[in-house]
Structure formats: C-alpha cells, structure tokens
A and B are shown apart, each in its own frame.
Chain A
C-alpha cells in the first residue's frame, strides 16, 4: 500500500469553526489531491497540487483552501465550516498526473453540526 496517512480520521465540529485536515505521504510523489465523497455525487475533486506551493482548484473548491509547504504534506482548510461540508474527505497521490495511478488515503469523516 502507498504510504498515505490522513489526520484526523474522524472529526465533529460546529458550523462556523475553522477545520484543517492533513494528508501526509512517504512516497515522495509530486502530485497530491483532495476529494470529497458524498452519496449521490460520488467522488469529486476539491483541490490538487502539482508541486510544493503549486496548487489549483478542482470541481468543488468553494469554501476550501489548501497549502503545500513540503512535498510530503498537503493541508485542506475549511475556513468556516458549514453543514454542506459534512462528508468523507480523501487524499490521493500520484507520481505523474496524467499517466500514473492515483493512490488513495484511508479518508477523514467530517461532521459539521
């Protein structure tokens, strides 16, 4: 299995509070991604990174920001959490964005009350 960890694995928070999710990899892969998975919507890309300090928006980026200061860490921040951001969040990595397999982390279940 690819060396990807996510923290926390579960979190319950209140509406309006900031939340940061962390993805850590030990594979030294260049590309990292954040997805959310919701019933009826499947997996959707939030943000992705193609290198340290290089990030871009995905399909559902509103309300989320990301940062990548080191190759191994990709942070996803909800500046002011809303109930619509209750979801399961997955991090993924790949060596080459276009031709290589994406490997997924175990996920973080976030509940916003």
Chain B
C-alpha cells in the first residue's frame, strides 16, 4: 500500500526566505503527484500537478520537483510572504489506484512578517 510522508509537520520562517517542503512516497509506480494548499477551515486548493513523466513543474513563485526513483517530491516557494501561511499537502496517484489519491498528513507553514 502506498504510504505518503511529509516532513516536517510544521515549519516557521521569516518573510522573504525560501520555503522547502518535502514529500516522500513508498511506491514509485505513480501516475502523478499533486501539491495542495489548505487554509484553516477551508477546502483544498490545487497548486501544481506533476505527471510521472515530468521532473518538475513551475507556477509563479512555486516550483515542484519529482524524483520517482527515490520516491521524493519537493515544493519550493520562493521569497515567502505572510500570505503563504497555510498547510501544504502532497497527494500521490498510483497506477493501480484508479483515481484514488493518497495524501500525506501535510506541513503547516507559518511565515512571520
């Protein structure tokens, strides 16, 4: 069974620093990996989706990398802002899971002014 782990569980950085969030997974037979953001009391907002054939995906200040062989993905957020404070979740779609995302527990990020 696919296991998805996000370390650390919580992270606090001063404004302007780059954020590095990690996601690891145990089964490398994946279709894609998605990164989401969740604000307190809200639903999930999709940030980036990386297909299994891709090594990275970029959107604005966000860059996500994928290394299937080592079972890792990293989300980089450049020049962090207080508005980036949220919980970030990664989710993996394995080839035998038929649309069933497997989520990590998330990393709670606080960006201090």
Residue ranges of A at the interface with B (Cβ–Cβ < 8 Å): 31, 33, 40, 42-45, 48, 50, 56, 58-59, 90, 92, 94, 97-107
Which of A45, A50, A105, A107 lies in contact with B101, CB distance below 8 A?
Answer: A45
Contact of A59 among B31, B46, B100 (CB under 8 A): B100
- Known interface pairs A58-B100, A103-B46; 15 further A-B residue pairs with C-beta atoms within 8 A, sorted by A's residue number: A33-B99, A40-B105, A42-B104, A42-B105, A43-B91, A48-B99, A56-B98, A90-B43, A94-B99, A98-B98, A99-B31, A100-B49, A101-B46, A101-B49, A106-B42
User: Given A99-B51, A101-B34, is A107 in contact with B99 using a C-beta cutoff of 8 Å?
Assistant: no
B65-108: which residues lie under 8 A (CB-CB) from chain A?
89, 91, 93, 98-101, 103-106
Residues in B with CB closer than 8 Å to A58 are 100
Q: Is B32 an interface residue (CB 8 A)?
A: yes
Residue of B nearest to A6 (CB): B43
Determine the distance from Cα of A43 to Cα of B4 in the docked complex, in whole angstroms. Answer: 11
**Pair A104/B104 contact, Cβ less than 8 Å:** no
Which chain A residue lies CB-closest to B51?
A99
Q: Report Cα–Cα, A105/B43, bound state, in Å.
A: 6
With A101-B34, A101-B49, A105-B43 known as contacts, the answer to whether A42 contacts B106 (CB < 8 A) is: yes
The bracket for how many chain B residues form the interface is 20 to 34
- Contact B43 A106, beta carbon cutoff 8 Å: yes
Contact A99 B43 (CB under 8 A): no
1-55 of chain B: CB within 8 A of chain A = 31-32, 34, 36, 42-46, 49, 51
